[in-house]
Structure 1
Amino acid sequence: MSIFNYVVSKSIMYVPKPIISHFAKGYIAGSTLADAVQLTKDLNQQGIMTTIDILGEFITTMDQAVGFKNDGLNILRTIDRENLDANLSIKPTQMGLLLDKEQCYGIIRELVAEAKELKNFIRIDIEDVPVTDDTFEFFRRLREEFPGHVGTALQGYLRRTPDDVVAMADGYQNYRLCKGIYIESRMDAWKHPQAINRNYVTCLEQLLKQGAYVGIATHDESLVFEAMNIIRKLDLNPDQYEFQMLLGVDEELRKIILAAGHRLRIYVPYGEDWLPYSQRRLKENPTIAQHALKQIFGLNKH
């Protein structure tokens, strides 16, 4: 890790909001659903799918959860009305998991039921370790009732993930496999980059072998290379998996993936509550800040 990246990763929580706002441009669709819809239309024209996410998490009242549920229903109906190639990502804590587990489940179930009605799909995002078991429980319950319309996510840096992969092979399987961005203890998560990558590749290969549909979510070129090798070795068709990337990150790699004949989905977040998301993104990938600084000072100009 460079000195610059180290400084960013250690100090990002203390950087003033206006500065982070500048860094965040290009990585968030905007403040409204209309912004996300227009961006999705642009990406769809390039042959790229999206998953739309309204920013906001760790709420304090169930009224807020109901508000996010209504936003989610509106997103699903807008996707249908606008004929977008997109689905919806949600976070359990955004829907009230830490306040009332069963009410949260009911909210998420309502969203998944609407997704089924509209022939769409809900991704239940994974969050930090304390809510992982509840998230997987929700997925297990919902996949029995709504197979094909709900999935969840797995994190490659967690020590438990290889066991979770096998344990959840007893039903419908649809996952986003990402590295993981939450700060977890060494007891819970691998810390060495090589260990994280090896764990990720091990999990990916096992998932694909056991018939799971996997969103291969990474911007790490070495993992993209490994994934393409596994896909080739298993002789998979492009409709058995997809690659996934964050908005605004490594657009050249995005083009490489598409040119190789693979499907690609871009994560399109929008909303007013962009600060925690941006802080995590910068902590995970400090090179974003490097690019932003170059733009600020005109260092990309020749």
Structure 2
Amino acid sequence: MSLFNFLVSKTIMHVPKPIVSYFAKGYIAGSTLDDAIRVTKELNQQGMMTTIDILGEFITRIDQAVAFKNNGLEILQAIDQHKLNANLSIKPTQMGLTLDKERCFELIHELVAEAKRINNFIRIDMEDIPTTDDTLEFFRKLREEFPGHVGTVLQAYLRRTPQDIIDLADGYQNYRLCKGIYIEPRLHAWKHPQAINRNYVTCLERMFKQGAYVGIATHDESLVFEAMNLVRELGLKPDQYEFQMLLGVDEELRKIIVDNGHRLRIYVPYGQDWLPYSKRRLKENPFIAQHALRQMFGLKKH
């Protein structure tokens, strides 16, 4: 790790809001749904799909969960109205998982039912370890009632993930596979980057061989390489998988993916609660801060 990256990872949680805002502004659509719609239209014109997400998680009151559910319905309706090539991502803690599990499931069920009605899709994001079992339980229940309209996320840095994939093989399978960003104890999560990458490829191959549709979510060029190799070796068609990337991250790589005939979905977050998201992303990927500094001072990458 470079000294710059080390300093970013250690200090980002204490950086003033205006500075974080400058670094992160290219990685968030804006504060309103109109911003997310505008960005999605631009990406659709470039041949890319999106998943729209309103920022916010780990709420403290159920009325906040209801408000986020209503926001989700508004997003689905906007996607349908504007004929966007997009779907919706939600977080269980955004819907009140840590407050009232049954009510949380009811709210998510309402969203997935609406997604089915308009022939769209809900991605139930994965959060930290205490929420993992409940999230997978929700996915199991919802996929029985709404196959084709709901999926979840599995994280390659968790030691449990290969077994989770096997355990979920008895039904409809639609996953986003990512490395994982939450800070988890070593007992539960691989820490070495090489171990995480090897587990990622192992999990991806297992998912494909079980017939899962996978959103290959990574900005790591080595993993993109491995995924493309697997796609070719297994003879998969373009409609059997997709790549996924965050808004604003490595636009050259995303062009390479699309130009090589692969489908790509961009994660488009928006909302007032952008600060925690931005700090997590900067901590995970200090390159964002490096890129912003180069732009600020007119420097070129050598």
Query: TM class by shorter-chain length?
Result: over 0.9
| Paired residue secondary structure (1:183) | coil
Amino acid across the alignment from 2:186: R
TM-score, normalised by the number of residues in structure 2: 0.99
Q: Distance in 2 between matches of 1:218 and 1:301?
A: 22
CA RMSD of aligned residues (A): 1.0
Cα shift at 1:103: 0.2
1:193 match: 193
CA deviations on 1:107-148 (whole Å, 9 max, x unpaired) are 000000000000000000000001000000000000000000
Cα shift at 1:68: 0.3
Amino acid across the alignment from 2:244: Q
1:274 match: 274
1:241 match: 241
Q: Distance in 2 between matches of 1:216 and 1:13?
A: 28
Gap regions ≥5 residues in structure 2: none
Amino acid across the alignment from 2:95: M
Deviates more, 1:9-18 or 1:26-35: 9-18
| Paired residue secondary structure (1:115) | helix
Cα shift at 1:301: 9.6
Using the aligned pairs only, state the percent identity: 78
- Where does 1:45-194 land on structure 2 (aligned, <5 Å)? 45-194=45-194
2:23 match: 23
Amino acid across the alignment from 1:223: L
Which contiguous aligned blocks of 4+ residues in structure 1 show a shift greater than 4 angstroms? none
Cα shift at 1:11: 1.1
| Paired residue secondary structure (2:27) | coil
Cα shift at 1:298: 2.1
Q: Distance in 1 between matches of 2:147 and 2:124?
A: 14
Q: Distance in 2 between matches of 1:174 and 1:125?
A: 12
Q: Distance in 1 between matches of 2:106 and 2:34?
A: 27
Cα shift at 1:248: 0.3
| Paired residue secondary structure (2:245) | strand
TM-score, normalised by the number of residues in structure 1: 0.99
| Paired residue secondary structure (1:26) | helix
| Paired residue secondary structure (2:37) | helix
- Figure out how many residues of one structure are paired with residues of the other and give that number: 302
Matched, 1:289 2:298: no
Q: Distance in 1 between matches of 2:240 and 2:73?
A: 27
Q: Distance in 2 between matches of 1:143 and 1:260?
A: 32
Amino acid across the alignment from 2:98: L
CA deviations on 1:65-108 (whole Å, 9 max, x unpaired) are 00000000000001000000000000000000000000000000
| Paired residue secondary structure (1:50) | strand
Cα shift at 1:300: 3.4
- Where does 1:29-48 land on structure 2 (aligned, <5 Å)? 29-48=29-48
CA deviations on 1:11-38 (whole Å, 9 max, x unpaired) are 1111111110001111000000000001
- Where does 1:188-267 land on structure 2 (aligned, <5 Å)? 188-267=188-267
